[in-house]
Structure 1
Amino acid sequence: MKKLLTFSLLLVLAIVLSACGKEETDATDNTSKQEETKIKVASLIPPMTDMLEIVKPLLKEEGIDLDIVILSDNVQPNSALAAKEVDANFFQHPTYMEQFNKANGSDLVAVQPVYHAILGAYSKKYKSVEELPEGAKVAIPNDSANIARSLQLLEKGGLITLKEGVGINATQKDIIENPTNIEIIEVDLLMLARSIDDVDLVTLLPAYAKPLNLTPVNDSLIDEGESDFPISLVARADNADSEAIQKLAKHLSGPEVRAFLEENFADIAIPAF
């Protein structure tokens, strides 16, 4: 009888301990699931989207689920971020962001510079700036930040002269010399690459030049080299210091992204970290 009672007590104890262990496991699993942070990051095209794909599994290891939201124009990522539809974006340089803030009363902030995208001027018709004809048609982006950047590039190539000191605020009204009377046409950033057959010269960021098998180092008539316009991770003032955004910034400026840029995009991009 005593042996039977002892066996019964041991059996009950084993069942209780097993149940407790299961509850602890379930609780741990539930806690892990609850602690996983989800963040949405808006972007446009490679190589930005490629870099986000590289850091996605690295973030997963740290309990952050990255959702990459690919949008179709260069206004939507900032509009979505300002409206809190996404948590960050990765497609622009700080000057473009600041001009969006000024125009929209938003409070976006640059968190981490990632790479310098080298702006270049390309032509399918001519091999040097000197060959451009009188009245050559030149296409540039139509947003204010990249208008100024492109005008500075054209000035570097000797095609125009700008008023002294206009810098990143330059517009066509600031051109004081245009010796060959080039015609500057402002085109939507995402449509610029298509205009290359219709104009004599076009200024393109490398992400849009690469699908045409063009790189600033090898194919441009003028290139800006390292600039003051690094493509950066951007968030809002209210979440820029959050753990998830800071971890994203850490990985976007990590060795994996540097290796990716150096191995695949050395001819169009320079790491900015």
Structure 2
Amino acid sequence: MKKVLVGLLLVTLIGAGLTGCGTKTGSADKKIVIGASATPHAEILEQARPILEKAGYELEIKEYADYVQPNLALDSGDLDANYFQHKPYLDQFNQENNTKIVSAAIIHYEPFGIYPGKTKTIEELADGAQIAVPNDATNEARALLLLEAQGLIKLKEGVGLNATKNDIVENPKNVEIVEIEAAQLARSLQDVDLAVINGNYAIEAGLNVSKDAIAFEDKDSVAAETYGNIIAVKEGNENREDIKALIDALKSDAVRQYINDTYEGAVVPKF
């Protein structure tokens, strides 16, 4: 009789363990763990927290200082979602790392800006001046397109979002393109003439694209559509109820108002 009871107990425990695998169940599905850049993503998520609480969800925000770890953490299952990147970067990351991460929603857009360093205006730029750009492929292409729009360089016909500095076919001022990790660009300003800086890192450094940049992407440009910042999840989790609740909270009127009031054009809602 004891053996029978032990056997039944083991079956029950194994069954309970199997039920806990795969999709989130029980109390675990009421907690959303999301990775984010500190600025503006984590700040925006904080505004969604009370909305999620009313819907019965607990939000845990894990901040990251780079663009690699939050995707690795999402792929490994340590995160339910992340919020820091645009889709071109995600597509490149998936290709290079054999991951299956997808976009669940576009939340906002951060205009790239050209910021003054040792040189204060584009007109004052000397022959051979140094311009710093992000060193990851998708953001470097975006920076080069912005420099081209200002007449500083001309890129090979049709390269678009695949552009690298090797695709520069005209360079009337012989500017030197200096590739630097995106997170370090703002700190490089004192060492270069100009720098093209990602929106989140500019904000983090106390720079506002509409006030401090000498040129920036238009909010109605192709870049605004292409480089919207997304909520990313593992493939197959896009329609999970907790992810839907997260997106609904981020797309609320309260969050839109917070973005508009706080960032003054440096962050633009895409909903």
TM-score (norm 1): 0.84
Matched, 1:252 2:250: yes
How far apart are residue 124 of structure 1 and its match?
3.1
Structure 1 or 2, whichever has the larger Rg, is: 1
Matched, 1:141 2:121: no
CA distance in 2, matches of 1:137, 1:152: 17
Give the equivalent residue in structure 2 for 1:101: 94
Give the equivalent residue in structure 1 for 2:172: 179
User: In structure 2, the residue corresponding to 1:95 is in which secondary structure?
Assistant: helix
CA distance in 2, matches of 1:135, 1:35: 57
Structure 1 unaligned runs (5+)? 1-32
Superposed counterparts of 1:35-184, under 5 Å: 37-184=30-177
CA distance in 1, matches of 2:120, 2:242: 47
Corresponding letter in the other structure for 2:49? K
Matched, 1:232 2:236: no
Corresponding letter in the other structure for 1:57? P
CA distance in 2, matches of 1:41, 1:57: 15
Note if contact 2:105-2:231 (Cα within 8 Å) is conserved in structure 1: yes
Corresponding letter in the other structure for 1:233? I
CA distance in 2, matches of 1:103, 1:64: 34
How far apart are residue 238 of structure 1 and its match?
2.1
Query: What is the RMSD of the two structures over their aligned residues, measured on CA atoms?
Result: 1.5
Superposed counterparts of 1:190-209, under 5 Å: 190-209=183-202
Note if contact 1:35-1:63 (Cα within 8 Å) is conserved in structure 2: no
How far apart are residue 47 of structure 1 and its match?
1.4
Once the two structures are overlaid, the 10-residue window that deviates more, 187-196 or 126-135, is 126-135
How far apart are residue 127 of structure 1 and its match?
3.1
User: In structure 2, the residue corresponding to 1:148 is in which secondary structure?
Assistant: helix
Runs of 4+ in 1 over 6 A off after TM superposition: none
CA distance in 1, matches of 2:28, 2:203: 40
CA distance in 1, matches of 2:27, 2:188: 50
Structure 2 unaligned runs (5+)? 1-25
Deviations 1:83-141 (A, max 9, x none): 11111100011111111011111111111111110100011333321111111111111
User: In structure 1, the residue corresponding to 2:185 is in which secondary structure?
Assistant: helix
